[in-house]
Amino acid sequence: MIVSEKINKLLQEVPYLKEVADCKAVLLTNPSKPEFKVASTRTKFTKADVNDAEARLARFAPFIMLAFPETKSAEGLIESGITDVEGLKEMLETYYDTKIEGQLWLKRDDQLPIAGTIKARGAIYEVLKHAEELALEHGLLTTWDDDYTKFASQSFKDFFSNYRIVVGTTGNLGISVGVMGAKLGFEVTVHMSIEAKAWKKNLLRSRGVTVIEHKTNFTQAVEMGRSQSLQDDQSYFVDDEFSEDLFLGYTVAGNRLQEQLKTMNITVDENHPLFVYLPCGIGGSPGGITFGLKQVYGDNVHCFFAEPTQMPSMLIGLMTKEYDQVSIDDFNIDGSLTNMDGLAVPRTSGFVAKLMHNFFDGGYTVTEKDNFAFLRALVDQFEIPLEPAAVAGVTGPARLFSSPLGKAYIKDKGLEDKMKNANHISWATGGSMVPEEDRKAFYNAIDNY
């Protein structure tokens, strides 16, 4: 069966796929998702893997505080706060002609230390794990109980300068890998796809990172980076498509959110559901966070992925069960029309998508117009400037209550009488490092629609 025949068959057989392929704003739920206990039997990862990642980051905390003084107040913890955005509810309700029940919050990964984006979780974790393994292998560390401030020493930097780290990215992953890798002393090369913003390239170069620009999309930039790395025995490739370490670095968000919500006296249980809306590109960060949250809250947390209407790669992969074997290009979707560069990934991660079929609860697509409308609203109401990709999760609560499948989901889960006790968290994935000139351009972009 040639590709066009295969795609036509999928369009005819898969419900709602044509609407997604036509770039319409839709919200869909995951009919394949089993109960959490069943889902947990279908993956090799467990809560123990999450705890192991948490422990590794704790070991590196003394080094992180030394290398990045801005983390001292949090004792080397790379974590973000939560902001009350209940005041946004009225605009969401008016814009989408619906009624939202529950409290609205914004998870501020735009303010994560060191890299200012959600990628700081997984990418920094993977770089640190690689550095730890090299140090143990070559006798620079003796045990995990050793003094990890050694990683800030000149002797460690001289050692790591003999090794290379390579990554392919649309931007934010490269910033996290580049900043931490360069700080440790690695020679870092970042392959940037055509969607990458100029300021991200400039930032990396200012930190001593080599940036290679490609006039190709994300998938091809990753492949070029992978190809370069494979030719060098001293090179390590951070693989956004297949890396388990990257995925596990993101999972620690579940434990940490649980502690934050406890501190805020926010209950999550069967009578107090938690809904989380996560911007999704290739899937590693929303997938890892979803996995971590499910380990903590099980079926009491409901995770929805948000994608641009012009770049619905995860939804297409999951809906068709073709995962990374289909691309938006197969459906003639013009991905160049999205300004959400952090989500501009034409093909999802097969590794993450297959795992998420058991864990994520649904997904939706957001138009450029809607996204920029609420980007401006966050600035006007709360003085929170996000980059476009980070806003994709903001409309989630309204989309849930206004869409037929969202309403059906609430009813089918027996949550109709419990939604007044719900908490909705939109995950803001980046923005604090955006230059002022770009912020102004983002703010004014809604005027073009």
Does residue 50 sit within a domain?
no
Q: Is the Cβ–Cβ distance between 385 and 418 less than 8 Å? A: no
Q: What letter does residue 336 receive in the DSSP assignment?
A: G
Residue where one domain finishes, among candidates 210, 243, 276: 243
Helices 436-444 and 368-382 pack at an angle, to 10 degrees, of 120
- Inter-CA distances, 279 with 102, 235, 341, Å: 21, 30, 11
Domain range for 151 is 118-243
Q: Say how far apart CA 448 and CA 444 lie, in whole Å.
A: 8
User: What is the pairing mode between strands 362-366 and 82-84?
Assistant: unpaired
Asked if the model's pLDDT at residue 171 lies above 80, the reply is: no
Q: Provide the pLDDT confidence category of residue 416 given band limits of 50, 70 and 90.
A: very high
Residue 260: which of 2, 379, 422, 83 has the closest Cα?
83
Does residue 60 sit within a domain?
no
Based on the fold, state whether residues 271 and 153 are members of the same structural domain: no
Please list, residue by residue across 200-228, b when 16 or more beta carbons sit within 10 angstroms of its beta carbon and e when fewer do.
Answer: bbebbeeeebebeebebbbbbbbebbbeb
Q: Is the Cβ–Cβ distance between 129 and 55 less than 8 Å? A: no
Based on the fold, state whether residues 364 and 319 are members of the same structural domain: yes
The count of residues in the chain is 449
Contacts of 328 (CB under 8 A, 6+ apart): 310, 311, 312, 313, 316, 335, 346, 347
Based on the fold, state whether residues 133 and 207 are members of the same structural domain: yes
pLDDT in tens, 210-242: 888 877 776 777 777 788 878 888 889 888 788
Q: What is the pLDDT of residue 3?
A: 58
H or E element that contains 253: helix 244-263
Residue where one domain finishes, among candidates 212, 243, 274: 243
Q: Say how far apart CA 178 and CA 196 lie, in whole Å.
A: 14
**Of all residues in the chain, what percent carry a pLDDT higher than 70?**
99
Q: Is the Cβ–Cβ distance between 358 and 42 less than 8 Å? A: yes
Number of domains in the chain: 2
Based on the fold, state whether residues 195 and 136 are members of the same structural domain: yes
pLDDT in tens, 47-100: 999 999 999 999 999 999 999 999 999 999 999 999 999 999 999 999 999 999
Based on the fold, state whether residues 237 and 278 are members of the same structural domain: no
Based on the fold, state whether residues 154 and 228 are members of the same structural domain: yes
Does residue 64 sit within a domain?
no
Does residue 39 sit within a domain?
yes
Can you give the pTM of this predicted structure?
Answer: 0.95
How many degrees, rounded to 5, is the angle at CA 146 between CA 144 and CA 150? 120
Residue where one domain finishes, among candidates 197, 226, 243: 243
Based on the fold, state whether residues 165 and 92 are members of the same structural domain: no
Does residue 413 sit within a domain?
yes
Q: Say how far apart CA 189 and CA 168 lie, in whole Å.
A: 9
Asked if the model's pLDDT at residue 200 lies above 90, the reply is: no
Based on the fold, state whether residues 90 and 148 are members of the same structural domain: no
Based on the fold, state whether residues 126 and 106 are members of the same structural domain: no
Amino acid 283 reads G
Does residue 53 sit within a domain?
no
Does residue 55 sit within a domain?
no
Based on the fold, state whether residues 219 and 278 are members of the same structural domain: no
Tally of CB atoms within 10 A around 244: 16
pLDDT in tens, 388-409: 999 999 999 999 999 999 999 9
Based on the fold, state whether residues 303 and 371 are members of the same structural domain: yes
Residue 222's CATH number: 3.40.50.1100
Q: What is the pLDDT of residue 1?
A: 45
Asked if the model's pLDDT at residue 360 lies above 90, the reply is: yes
Based on the fold, state whether residues 139 and 279 are members of the same structural domain: no
Tally of CB atoms within 10 A around 408: 11
